[in-house]
Structure 1
Amino acid sequence: MSLYLILALMTAAAIFAVLLPLSRRPSDAAAGGQDVAVYRDQLDEIERDRKSGLIGKAEAEAAKVEISRRLLAAADLSGQAAPASASSPVWRRRMTALVALLLLPALSAGLYLRWGSPQLPGAPLAARLDAPAENRSIASMVAQVEAHLEKNPDDGQGWQVVAPVYMRMGRFNEAVRARANTIRLLGATAEREADLGEAQVAAANGVVTADAKASFERALKSDAGNTKAQYFSGLAAEQDGRPEEAARVWRAMLASAPPNAPFRPLLQRSLARVEPKGVEPVEPKAPQPGPTQEDMAAAQQLTPEQRQEMIRGMVDRLAERLKSDSSDFEGWLRLVRAYAVMGEKEKAKEAFLTARNTIGDDAEKRKRLDDLAKGLGIEG
């Protein structure tokens, strides 16, 4: 109803603007008749002043000429206006008023009925959200999920769905909340902890905060090979003023990454920030015994018991290989980390001591091994 009221008011204002000038009667004829009388009085006055000697004959003649000219003009105006005012203006005013009162509203209504949508009902938010997905924007779909989560705050799947969308939209604080709720409701995994840490870093404008660092540490404790958590742990070291440790983390990631890994360019750019100039980029080593990307993908399809057996077989093969080739320092690191993740602290400690004896006096390798043992809680 408010729309129709506004349209009616606009139409009334337009009609008023047209009719207002038509309500004024022309006064040209009356004005012309009055001017003629005034000019005649002025001529008589000039003649009286000349006879009484107030003005000279030349001045009187000049004034009469000017007033006579004005008198003739006024007389012409009065004579021409009278016939027109008698008929034409009244007829025209009435026709114009009729057009304004009847034809303008009718024309406006016809145009609206022809090209407008008078029968289209209003579209409230709920109706727009029920539209097919292909006809809706990302913002409307997010609004639908948010409305659902407001009524069902314990829907972990809903929080998990909306979290990455928040990240793409730049709503990082909401992404942190969504990912924290996902972990609370669906349980913690290495991937979810790493995703939470990533959102916390984004919300802090790229700074690896204490909360983010704790999230990445939990992810690495659950899965030491989590790529995202490894990268951000190196970034945390760089921001803490430990570029050597950051370079060590990123070099190890490059060494074990496949040649076509999508994150290799990021690692190389990051290494360029912390490594001295002239250091050659780390090239991928030959494949080492251990879980590959394909192995990890296949493991996701197994039952927990089958997955544990698969991991156990890979760890045993790595341990056997290190007995014959103890110079593979990266292999020792993987073996120590694998035993610790599997909960076999004694075997992890034994592998740690064997590795220390193998590397001898290499200070860099000793520091890396000691840092790993400290982080895993197996120092001895």
Structure 2
Amino acid sequence: MNLIFILIAALLAASVTLWLVFVLWRSPKLDSSVEHHAVNAAVLRDQLVELEQDRANGILSLPDHAAAQQELQRRVLDEATPAQDTGQRRHSSKSAAIALAIVLPVAATLTYLAIGNPAAITPPPAQNAPAMTQADVQAMVDSLAARLTRNPDDAPGWLMLARSYRYLEKYEDAAAAFAKAASVIQTDPLALSEYAETLARSRPAGFKGEPTQLLERALTLNPREPFALTLAGAAALERQDYPGAIDYWQQLLGLLPADSDAAQAVANTIERTRREQAETATAKN
């Protein structure tokens, strides 16, 4: 059940319950005894006035008047005494308030569970997407290869297949697919760089020959292509062109955020290349 819904419902129920409890707790319960006392007091006042008139008219003697007056005074005192059940009535109101504070929230909860729909506010469990396995990737690649066999002029499809084979580290198959995608990769610096790396990995000669030519073309199209600069530095280092490798990687370093892990890795590579250059020069001397 949604936690926010529960909190809001609880606050609303508590607010209503507290208000009702406050009213019952503070308000005395009125009954007919108040009216009874008021009527009796008025009657006694009238009798006292009549008693004084009888004494003035000589109807009552002084002793009789004194006795009657004492009786009326006793009755006035009795009527002025508070009723003994007032505290009980107030106590019954407080008891009702306490009972209401307990019963109302419980009744509201039970009613909701009986006629409400708690599942409606409970979010459904998240469905985890099944992880794609290597077999799934291979099946997709095989399906693409079968489709391209039926449609060999689909150059973008061949580029997609070449990148898929490269991901699977099938570099010879990737190189063959890149060659069939020539019409779309000749103006794509990144694709040219990927093709160059694939050829270097699939041939004993490494970056010599066509891979280096592909990298040069990629950098002509875009001198700031990061992958082309990376591979061009590797090709230069392979032929022990240390200044060339350092130059390519310094250009690459300038394209990267200064505080990034990639920038640190390139800086470390440049430093190692400089040490290797110094060791090579010392060995030659």
Tell me the TM-score range normalised by the shorter chain. Answer: 0.3 to 0.5
Q: Which has the larger radius of gyration?
A: 2
Could you say which structure has the greater relative contact order, defined with CA pairs below 8 angstroms and 6 or more residues apart? 2
